[in-house]
């Protein structure tokens, strides 16, 4: 499997390569003790508290068996599989499906697709719900309601609408079209599992939403769409092994965390993820939640106000070379760019002959699209380096379950290490609560009367600023 090992190249983070805005060897050496502390903290606490996700590659044999059985049942019985969830319950499934399966999976013929169509509904836009209902027959659809807390309004709204439709169409048999994925004992969805008799999978306590792709949250949907979930978990375990030493030169996730930590200290408060592969496009969305929600914290573990975090931004190579790269090369020194590169794309297309009289076009002929995209990635890496901006590159030998498993686990580890280095709680999200509570108050949830009063008393808007 070593030929499928991910590679991290941090050369272009360093002052040697990019000059005064880069990281010096002395700066890197200075954070080595902090990185080692973060490593030790993780090593000692892994598998406990909110770090249950770290054991998912190893402790799911029974769960995987059950997932494969249920997936086989879904594949045989249903034409569509719809995920109802948001945040960590949706971004991983979307990213994995895009990475592994055909880019127009739903449009393939039934024979070629060889499984249900997949829809991941992660919003409460009524137009989107109506659009979904225009293209699926709920009777032929399995709905996977995913919410760890079992109380997320968006997901429970979707559940209420769909279960009502199913009951009207199928009566008592409606329960067969729902699979719930939730916490074993918290929230409302587990209560419904018990009262309605839905099939269910459990999200372990120590696995937070954004760290949940490798548990039933992501694995059921993947198995239903014929993705090899065992290989995915093997890839994660392989990355775990690659990161089993405290030495930053032998632990890529720790090296990446140390680099980002130093970069944040230098004012690089934006982290751009730029995959050079459409298959990895939505990995950037998944990363944005993981990095943003985990590290964006007002206070550290000692209660000091720190306003930590780095704003994640998604980009796509080569598409965004024609949109964002001008800013990244000539704009401020406030970013770290991560390029995701691929050694071998799963297919290739030779550029046809033509334009013999136009040398500026004809030079492309005979090359392949793979050569072109790789040349553009190298060229952009070079341009960013030449402009003195920090970047690093993670290369996947090929995009498959094993390498994507590595990538997911790499980022979960990097996030855990970076959070430990920043001295913050990586696994909570108190900043999300205010908006949630205000929504409850606005829609009249019992117990939120005081919040409603607080909202009603908010400063009136000045009409002068509404134009
Ligand atoms: O990372 C997290 O915990 C959150 O972003 C959740 O994934 C998101 O809020 C959805 O929560 P839940 O799974 O409880 O519905």
Q: What percent of the chain has pLDDT over 70?
A: 100
- Alpha carbon separation from 419 to 144, 233, 271, 459 (Å, rounded): 31, 24, 15, 36
What is the Å distance from ligand 1's center to 147 Cα?
Answer: 7
CA gap 148, 189 in Å, rounded? 9
Alpha helices in 324-467 (DSSP H): 325-330, 359-362, 369-386, 401-422, 430-442, 449-456
Q: Closest Cα to residue 387, out of 313, 337, 341?
A: 337
Q: Closest Cα to residue 247, out of 40, 95, 50, 7?
A: 40
Count of positions (residues) in the chain: 467
CA gap 432, 436 in Å, rounded? 7
Report residue 129's pLDDT band, with 50, 70 and 90 as the boundaries: very high
Looking at 79, 230, 436, 451, which residue is catalytic? 436
CA gap 178, 324 in Å, rounded? 42
**Ligand 1 atom at shortest distance from the alpha carbon of 149:** 14
Q: What percent of the chain has pLDDT over 90?
A: 97
What local confidence, expressed as pLDDT, does residue 434 receive? 86
2-47+232-422 and 53-230 share one fold:
yes
pLDDT digits (tens, 9 = 90+) for 172-199: 999 999 999 999 998 999 999 999 999 9
CA gap 15, 385 in Å, rounded? 10
Rounded average pLDDT over 137-163: 96
Q: Closest Cα to residue 49, out of 196, 197, 206, 188?
A: 206
Asked whether 101 and 227 are in contact (CB, 8 A), the reply is: yes
CA gap 230, 228 in Å, rounded? 6
Report residue 154's pLDDT band, with 50, 70 and 90 as the boundaries: very high
Report residue 34's pLDDT band, with 50, 70 and 90 as the boundaries: very high
What local confidence, expressed as pLDDT, does residue 5 receive? 98
Is the pLDDT reported for residue 435 higher than 90? no
What is the Å distance from ligand 1's center to 130 Cα?
Answer: 24
Take atom 12 of ligand 1 and give the residue whose Cα is closest.
147
Take atom 2 of ligand 1 and give the residue whose Cα is closest.
209
Is the pLDDT reported for residue 1 higher than 90? no
What local confidence, expressed as pLDDT, does residue 77 receive? 97
CA gap 359, 354 in Å, rounded? 10
CA gap 184, 71 in Å, rounded? 20
Average pLDDT over the chain reads 97
What local confidence, expressed as pLDDT, does residue 116 receive? 98
Residue 117 in 3-state DSSP?
A: strand
Residue 20 DSSP symbol = T
Looking at 322, 356, 461, 464, which residue is catalytic? 322
What local confidence, expressed as pLDDT, does residue 418 receive? 98
What local confidence, expressed as pLDDT, does residue 370 receive? 97
pLDDT digits (tens, 9 = 90+) for 374-428: 999 999 999 999 999 999 999 999 999 999 999 999 999 999 999 999 999 999 9
Rounded average pLDDT over 72-90: 97
Rounded average pLDDT over 60-72: 98
Rounded average pLDDT over 241-263: 98
What local confidence, expressed as pLDDT, does residue 436 receive? 86
Rounded average pLDDT over 155-163: 97
CA gap 337, 313 in Å, rounded? 9
The values of phi and psi at residue 201, to 5°, are -130, 150
Asked whether 160 and 129 are in contact (CB, 8 A), the reply is: no
Architecture of the domain whose range is 53-230? 3-Layer(aba) Sandwich (3.40)
pLDDT digits (tens, 9 = 90+) for 300-358: 999 999 999 999 999 999 999 999 999 999 999 999 999 999 999 999 999 999 999 99
Looking at 213, 293, 381, 414, which residue is catalytic? 293
Fold adopted by 2-47+232-422: Rossmann fold (3.40.50)
What local confidence, expressed as pLDDT, does residue 143 receive? 98
Residues flanking ligand 1, CB < 6 Å: 86-89, 147-149, 152, 155, 208-210, 293, 429
Q: For the chain, which residues make up each domain, given as ranges?
A: 2-47+232-422, 53-230
What is the Å distance from ligand 1's center to 54 Cα?
Answer: 18
- Alpha carbon separation from 194 to 143, 155, 262, 416 (Å, rounded): 17, 18, 49, 34
Beta strands in 251-326 (DSSP E): 270-275, 297-299, 305-308, 311-314
The two three-digit tokens of residue 366, written as one number: 């005979």
Report residue 245's pLDDT band, with 50, 70 and 90 as the boundaries: very high
Rounded average pLDDT over 144-149: 96
Residues in contact with 123: Cβ distance below 8 Å, sequence separation at least 6, in sequence order: 86, 154
Residue 152 in 3-state DSSP?
A: coil
- pTM for the model stands at 0.97
What local confidence, expressed as pLDDT, does residue 433 receive? 84
């Amino acid at each position: 499997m070593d030929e499928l090992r991910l590679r991290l190249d941090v050369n272009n983070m360093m002052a040697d390569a990019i000059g005064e805005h880069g990281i010096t060897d002395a700066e890197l050496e200075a954070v080595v003790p902090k990185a080692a502390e973060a490593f030790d903290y993780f090593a000692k606490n892994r598998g406990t508290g909110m770090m249950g996700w770290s054991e998912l590659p190893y402790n799911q044999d029974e769960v995987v068996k059950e997932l494969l059985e249920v997936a086989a049942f879904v594949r045989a019985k249903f034409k569509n599989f719809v995920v109802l969830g948001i945040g960590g319950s949706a971004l991983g499934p979307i990213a994995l499906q895009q990475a592994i399966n055909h880019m127009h999976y739903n449009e393939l013929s039934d024979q070629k697709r060889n499984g249900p169509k997949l829809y991941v509904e992660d919003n409460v836009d009524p137009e989107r719900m109506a659009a979904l209902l225009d293209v699926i027959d709920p009777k032929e659809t399995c709905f996977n309601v995913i919410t760890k807390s079992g109380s997320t309004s968006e997901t429970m709204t979707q559940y209420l609408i769909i279960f009502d439709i199913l009951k009207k169409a199928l009566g008592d048999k409606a329960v067969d079209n729902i699979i719930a994925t939730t916490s074993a004992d918290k929230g409302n969805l587990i209560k419904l599992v018990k009262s309605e008799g839905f099939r269910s999978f459990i999200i372990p306590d120590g696995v937070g939403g954004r760290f949940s792709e490798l548990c039933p949250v992501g694995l059921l949907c993947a198995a239903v769409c014929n993705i090899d979930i065992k290989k995915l978990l093997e890839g994660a375990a392989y990355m775990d092994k690659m990161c089993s030493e405290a030495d930053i030169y032998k632990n890529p996730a720790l090296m990446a965390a140390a680099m980002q930590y130093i970069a944040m200290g230098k004012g690089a408060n934006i982290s751009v993820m730029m995959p050079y592969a459409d298959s990895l496009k939505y990995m950037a969305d998944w990363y944005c939640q993981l990095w943003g929600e985990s590290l964006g914290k007002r206070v550290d573990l000692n209660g000091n106000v720190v306003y930590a975090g780095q704003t994640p931004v998604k980009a796509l190579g080569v598409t965004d070379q024609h949109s964002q790269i001008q800013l990244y090369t000539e704009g401020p020194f406030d970013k770290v760019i991560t390029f995701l590169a691929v050694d071998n794309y799963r297919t290739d297309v030779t550029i046809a002959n033509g334009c013999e009289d136009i040398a500026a076009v004809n030079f492309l002929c005979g090359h392949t699209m793979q050569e072109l995209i790789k040349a553009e990635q190298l060229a952009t890496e070079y341009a960013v380096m030449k402009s003195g901006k920090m970047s690093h590159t993670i290369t996947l030998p090929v995009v498959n379950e094993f390498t994507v498993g590595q990538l997911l686990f790499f980022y979960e580890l990097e996030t855990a290490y970076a959070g430990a280095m920043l001295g913050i709680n990586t696994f909570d999200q108190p900043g999300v609560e205010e908006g949630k509570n205000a929504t409850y108050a606005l829609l009249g949830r019992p117990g939120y009367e005081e919040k409603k009063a607080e909202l009603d008393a908010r400063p009136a808007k000045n009409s002068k600023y509404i134009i």
